[in-house]
């Protein structure tokens, strides 16, 4: 590897390493505030921008927690709880919930979340099987809410693998929190934590959140940008309307780079799908597999392409182009699908729409240019013999400078 290439590889790696080697420490602000109230055993960032600090004494099984997250708007609720079951999940969670109402009042209480909550029954305060003391719900900043409490961990809860579940909702009435949003960020608010060491079983919600974004960006850049740019180069710079000797090299580079980035995004996607078994995104997955399979086939095209003057070349070209354009369509459908799952914020959707418009208008301009050039060359054709036409076309193919057509008129 040349020093230049090594440098490039180092840059690419340094962009992605922080994601894989991610230790989701709390923000300094939250840690400082928490340290005033408890002796922190550990503090971590979680999904939905939540932060969780705790102190745990494995002798007395006393657990002090401080859990904060942003509430959007002047109404909302914040929940934090432990689940004694085998897996972290909503049903079975013994929760502490703080509610903020739009008239500025707030309340906090304990709630037991059951199957019927999930089915839509009212969620109202009830006794839970945790001994809770010093429970408070406060707003250190306008939109940032914090739950603080002390719990004595019962024996049924394993302190080296404790299921922690949290949630943020936007609507509530008095003491009743209403259904939270159901996008992927809200469905991944659960972790199995070792309270003694602070480590997390499997991958923390925060890391999954980051990987999902990496997955999205790699796919948008790989499948969504390089492949269509490569297609535009092949369509408009091969011979007509513009002939450019470097087109093939650039076309192949774009497709290979797009394929590599897209494939790494796809592999992360498979892995993510595996990590969130409890909610499948079937269509997104199937389209992803189709895209990977057929772009792989297109890549083989590089090696299996018939020779230039082979009889099959025409059919081969038709096949390669047809598959290529269909893939571009499926890719953009799946990118929109993925963005709607992430539902990150609308910037992703608009950024991608912007990209499509840009590529689309470049293609339209080049297409119009193609036709104008084509007509200019064809219009004097009425006076020409077929023979001349043939020559013209050959010349046009080789060197389409425009001068050759002008000489006829």
Which CB, 98 or 216, lies closer to ligand NAG?
98
Closest distance of CB 199 from ligand HEM, Å: 20
- The CA distance from 181 to 164, in Å, is 19
Which CB, 5 or 105, lies closer to ligand NAG?
105
Structure tokens at 166: 């949290």
Contact status, residue 188 vs residue 276, Cβ threshold 8 Å = yes
Does residue number 69 form part of the binding site for ligand HEM (CB under 6 A)? Answer: no
Piece of 19-27, 48-56, 163-171, 363-371 that binds ligand HEM (CB under 6 A): 163-171
- The CA distance from 234 to 249, in Å, is 10
Does residue number 90 form part of the binding site for ligand HEM (CB under 6 A)? Answer: yes
Q: Of 157, 151, 47, 172, give the one whose Cα is nearest residue 101.
A: 172
284 is in an annotated binding site: yes
108 is in an annotated binding site: no
Which CB, 177 or 269, lies closer to ligand HEM?
177
Which does residue 165 bind out of ligand NAG, ligand HEM, none, counting CB within 5 to 8 angstroms by kind? Answer: ligand HEM
Strand duo 62-70 + 51-57: pairing: antiparallel
Does residue number 46 form part of the binding site for ligand HEM (CB under 6 A)? Answer: no
206 is in an annotated binding site: no
Closest distance of CB 296 from ligand HEM, Å: 32
- Cα–Cα distances in Å, from 104 out to 5, 75, 76, 107, 175? 59, 8, 11, 10, 14
Which does residue 123 bind out of ligand NAG, ligand HEM, none, counting CB within 5 to 8 angstroms by kind? Answer: ligand HEM
215 is in an annotated binding site: yes
- Cα–Cα distances in Å, from 370 out to 223, 243, 373, 384? 26, 12, 5, 21
Does residue number 182 form part of the binding site for ligand HEM (CB under 6 A)? Answer: yes
- Cα–Cα distances in Å, from 101 out to 75, 143, 169? 5, 12, 12
Structure tokens at 384: 């020409």
| Residue tagged 């079975």 (tokens) | 92
Which does residue 214 bind out of ligand HEM, ligand NAG, none, counting CB within 5 to 8 angstroms by kind? Answer: none
Closest distance of CB 54 from ligand NAG, Å: 12
Q: Considering only residues 46, 47, 55, 93, which one is a binding residue for ligand HEM as defined by CB under 6 A? A: 93
Which does residue 161 bind out of ligand HEM, ligand NAG, none, counting CB within 5 to 8 angstroms by kind? Answer: ligand NAG
Which does residue 158 bind out of ligand NAG, ligand HEM, none, counting CB within 5 to 8 angstroms by kind? Answer: ligand NAG
Q: Of 210, 144, 225, 221, give the one whose Cα is nearest residue 342.
A: 210
Which does residue 120 bind out of ligand HEM, ligand NAG, none, counting CB within 5 to 8 angstroms by kind? Answer: ligand HEM
Which does residue 81 bind out of ligand HEM, ligand NAG, none, counting CB within 5 to 8 angstroms by kind? Answer: ligand HEM
Prior bond to 263 cis, omega within 30?
A: no
Does residue number 128 form part of the binding site for ligand HEM (CB under 6 A)? Answer: no
Structure tokens at 6: 């090594």
351 bridge partner residues: none
- The CA distance from 155 to 383, in Å, is 97
Which strand (E) or helix (H) includes residue 97? strand 94-100
- The CA distance from 335 to 224, in Å, is 8
- The CA distance from 83 to 194, in Å, is 14
Rg (CA), the chain: 30
Residues in contact with ligand HEM, counted by CB under 6 A, come to a total of 25
Q: Considering only residues 177, 228, 288, 324, which one is a binding residue for ligand HEM as defined by CB under 6 A? A: 177
The residues that touch ligand NAG, with contacts defined as CB under 6 A, are 37-39, 58-59, 101, 103, 105, 158, 160-161, 174, 196
Which does residue 184 bind out of ligand HEM, ligand NAG, none, counting CB within 5 to 8 angstroms by kind? Answer: none
Question: Could you give the angle at the alpha carbon of 22 between the alpha carbons of 289 and 4, nearest 5°?
Answer: 75
**Chain residues in the site for ligand HEM (CB under 6 A):** 79, 81, 89-91, 93, 95, 97, 113, 117-118, 120, 123, 165-167, 177-180, 182, 187, 189-190, 279
Q: Summarize the annotated binding site for heme b as residue ranges.
A: 215, 251, 284, 320
């Amino acid at each position: 590897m040349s020093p230049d290439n090594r440098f490039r590889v180092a840059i690419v790696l340094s962009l992605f390493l922080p994601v894989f080697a991610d230790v989701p420490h709390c923000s300094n602000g939250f840690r400082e505030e928490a340290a005033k109230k408890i002796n922190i055993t550990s503090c971590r960032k979680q999904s939905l921008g939540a932060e969780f600090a705790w102190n745990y004494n494995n002798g007395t099984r006393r657990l002090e927690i401080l859990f904060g997250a942003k509430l959007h708007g002047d109404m909302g609720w914040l929940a934090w709880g432990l689940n004694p079951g085998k897996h972290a999940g909503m049903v079975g969670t013994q929760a502490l919930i703080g509610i903020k109402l739009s008239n500025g009042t707030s309340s906090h209480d304990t709630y037991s979340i059951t199957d019927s909550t999930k089915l839509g029954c009212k969620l109202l305060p009830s006794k839970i099987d945790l001994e809770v003391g010093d429970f408070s719900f406060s707003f250190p900043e306008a939109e940032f809410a914090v739950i603080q409490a002390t719990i004595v961990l019962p024996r049924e809860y394993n302190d080296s693998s404790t299921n922690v579940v949290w949630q943020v909702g936007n609507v509530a009435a008095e003491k009743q929190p209403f259904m939270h949003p159901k996008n992927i960020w809200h469905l991944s608010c659960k972790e199995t934590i070792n309270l003694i060491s602070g480590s997390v079983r499997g991958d923390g919600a925060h890391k999954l959140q980051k990987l999902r974004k990496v997955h999205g960006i790699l796919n948008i850049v790989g499948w969504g940008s390089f492949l269509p740019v490569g297609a535009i180069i092949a369509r408009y710079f091969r011979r007509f309307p513009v002939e450019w000797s470097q087109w093939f090299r650039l076309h192949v580079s774009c497709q290979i780079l797009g394929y590599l980035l897209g494939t790494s995004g796809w592999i992360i996607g498979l892995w993510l799908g595996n990590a969130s078994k409890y909610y499948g995104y079937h269509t997104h997955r199937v389209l992803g597999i189709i895209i990977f399979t057929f772009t792989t086939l297109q890549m083989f095209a590089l090696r299996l392409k018939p020779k230039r003057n082979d009889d099959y070349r025409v059919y081969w070209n038709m096949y390669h182009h047809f598959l290529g354009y269909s893939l571009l369509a499926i890719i953009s459908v799946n990118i929109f699908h993925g963005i709607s799952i992430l539902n990150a914020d609308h910037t992703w959707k608009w950024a991608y729409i912007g990209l499509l418009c840009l590529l689309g208008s470049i293609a339209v301009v080049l297409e119009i240019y193609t036709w104008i050039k084509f007509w200019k060359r064809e219009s004097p054709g009425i006076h020409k013999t077929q023979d001349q036409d043939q020559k013209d076309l050959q010349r046009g193919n080789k060197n389409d400078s425009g001068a050759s057509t002008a000489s006829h008129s």
